[in-house]
Structure 1
Amino acid sequence: MSSAAPFTVLIPARLASSRLPNKPLADIAGLPMVVRVARQAAQSGATRVVVAGDSPAILQACAEHGVQAVLTREDHPSGSDRLAEACSALGLDGDDIVVNVQGDEPLIDPALVGAVACLLQDRPQASMSTAAHPIETLVDYQNPNVVKVVCNAVGLAHYFSRAPIPHHRDQNGTAWWQATQTSASAGYGPLRHIGIYAYRAGFLRQFPQLTPAPTEQVEALEQLRALWHGHQIAVHVTQHAPGAGVDTPEDLERVRALLAGR
């Protein structure tokens, strides 16, 4: 893999959250969560890190800690729509590489951010790149909240699903799971999708105008829209699961305790 081309990290941050109000501003070890995410991302080799927020309060918190931020509309239906607006505001287009790091991932591995950007640089046929890691338990393999991805021989995504894929026709789930434990190194083991994406900025600006895909609507997985319309997604496979994100007050307390322990 070649050295990474210049890339920008964009961090979508939305103040409203049903499970954790004001989530981007939640204090974690003395810093607002979105600022901590930005500082992690800044260690990835990115040319710049920009928060795409939906509230002046987010921009103020970023400014107080030296983090660049742009104000985006409150009514975007998805994070990718928010990032498309941010790309326009920042003048990013064409083959400029943009990495989407979620604003609730304070434990994001900077090396993973850089690897996803580098992979997209190396795959000119792909419009996007993302990441995955081997699934470690049968419970996760069967869990519809754990998104799986199947790749082809050159590491491009065939399909993403909440279903346990790949599925062995002639074995039940447990037997197939046990079989994968000896074959994962050969590329046959099921992979858990990690929700980090790199995009070519021109495609990201186009993406919200693409018609939602039937598969996307059935699975509730936005990345299936890209595959439906013929765009390719390169997949970086890492052996390590990422640090957990923050969706609930319990998640927040767990991350606070972890960082306090460090």
Structure 2
Amino acid sequence: MKVAVIIPSRYGSSRFEGKPLADLCGKPMIQWVVRRASQADCVDSVHVATDDTRIRDAVEGFGGSVLMTSSKCRSGTDRVAEAAEQLKLAMSDVVVNIQGDQPMVDPRCLDALVRPFHEEPEVKMSTLAFAIVDPREISDPKDVKVVFDNHGDALYFSRAAIPRGRDTSQGYDTYKHLGVYAYTREFLECFRSLAPGRLEEIEKLEQLRAMEHGHRIRVVVTPYDSPEVDLPLDIQRIREKMLAMGLC
């Protein structure tokens, strides 16, 4: 079973055009994502999937692998699936989907994310969660929350604060969903063929589509956060975090 990381990356964004090429400590952000993913023990290959020649040129410039995909891809998942097809991955191989705006993704997260596929053959899709330490993230709809059952399978993802305790004195963890996924290529093909779900449309969360069609998502809790860059003003905050961790 091979493990291929595919990073969907597009240049156009209404909130932050050219985000993958934004400078972080003298390197384009996409280079940091590729570097961090390449450090995971479980990973056999790392590829950027894009439809933009500027991103292609940047990735090739730092020696990365890039796959040109259609400009008609509806989502990052579709772009990842098209890239997996180009790579001719076996249906039993595992595809890891990392967003190109997570330059601090910890390689150990990826090893934990893939581990269930080795230990539990019934697992077809997994994702990461982190116990929130910043209270602001609990109420911020930008930070997606997740709850899961005793087996670690997701019960729901929401932009709202879940669970919401009736008694304010009751202490409990709230888990933030980190936008990193792994799937067998077979399930990735299944997932991309599913009709959009009602809850997916309400929350604007693509992963809910799998659950609405009766598929399980294994949630792997990690102690390593992976903050995203959403807006230009996030660059300085992420740069400061990376400097504090000695990453740059």
Cα RMSD for the two superposed structures: 1.9
Cα gap change, 1:84 to 1:119, in 2 (>3 Å): same
Equivalence for 1:184: none
Matches within 5 A, 1:1-262: 6-45=2-41, 46-136=43-133, 138-168=135-165, 171-172=166-167, 175=168, 178-181=169-172, 189-242=173-226, 244-259=227-242, 262=246
- Contact 1:147–1:193 (CA under 8 A) maintained in structure 2: yes
- For residues 210-253 of structure 1, the C-alpha deviation after alignment (integer angstroms, 9 at most, x for no partner) is 111111111111101111112111111123432x2212111123
1:192 is displaced (CA, Å) by 1.6
| Post-superposition CA distance 1:127-149 (Å, at most 9, x none) | 21001122335543333333221
Deviations 1:172-203 (A, max 9, x none): 5xx1xx4124xxxxxxx332211111111111
TM-score (norm 1): 0.86
2:153, 2:85 → 1: CA distance?
A: 28
Hey, what's the Cα distance between the residues in 2 that align with 1:120 and 1:157?
Answer: 16
What is the CA–CA distance in structure 2 between the aligned matches of 1:141 and 1:260, rounded to whole Å?
26
Alpha carbons of structure 1 residues 163 and 255: separation in structure 2 relative to 1, 3 Å: closer
After superposition, the C-alpha distances for 1:74-115 in whole angstroms (9 at most, x for unaligned) are: 232211011011011111241210111111111111111221
1:6 maps to amino acid: K
The more displaced of 229-238 and 139-148 is: 139-148
Classify the secondary structure of the residue corresponding to 1:179.
coil
Counterpart of 1:32, as a letter, is P
Asked if the contact 2:5/2:47 (under 8 Å) is kept, the reply is yes
Residue 35 of structure 2: SS of its match in structure 1?
A: helix
Mapped contact 2:116–2:123 kept (Cα < 8 A): no
Q: Distance in 1 between matches of 2:232 and 2:143?
A: 21
**Aligned residue pairs: how many?**
244
Range that drifts further, 198-207 or 137-146: 137-146
CA distance in 2, matches of 1:237, 1:60: 35
Q: Which residue does the alignment assign to 1:186?
A: none
Contact 1:38–1:67 (CA under 8 A) maintained in structure 2: yes
The residue matched to 2:96 in structure 1 has which SS? strand
CA displacement at 1:163 relative to structure 2: 2.5
SS of aligned partner of 2:34: helix
Larger helix proportion of the pair:
1
TM-score scaled by length of structure 2: 0.90
The answer for unaligned runs of 5 or more in structure 1 is: 182-188
How many angstroms does 1:208 deviate by?
1.9
Identity of aligned residues (%): 40
Describe the superposition over 1:31-72 as per-residue Cα deviations: whole angstroms up to 9, x where unpaired. 221122101110012100000011122122111211111001
Deviation at residue 9 of structure 1 after TM alignment:
0.6
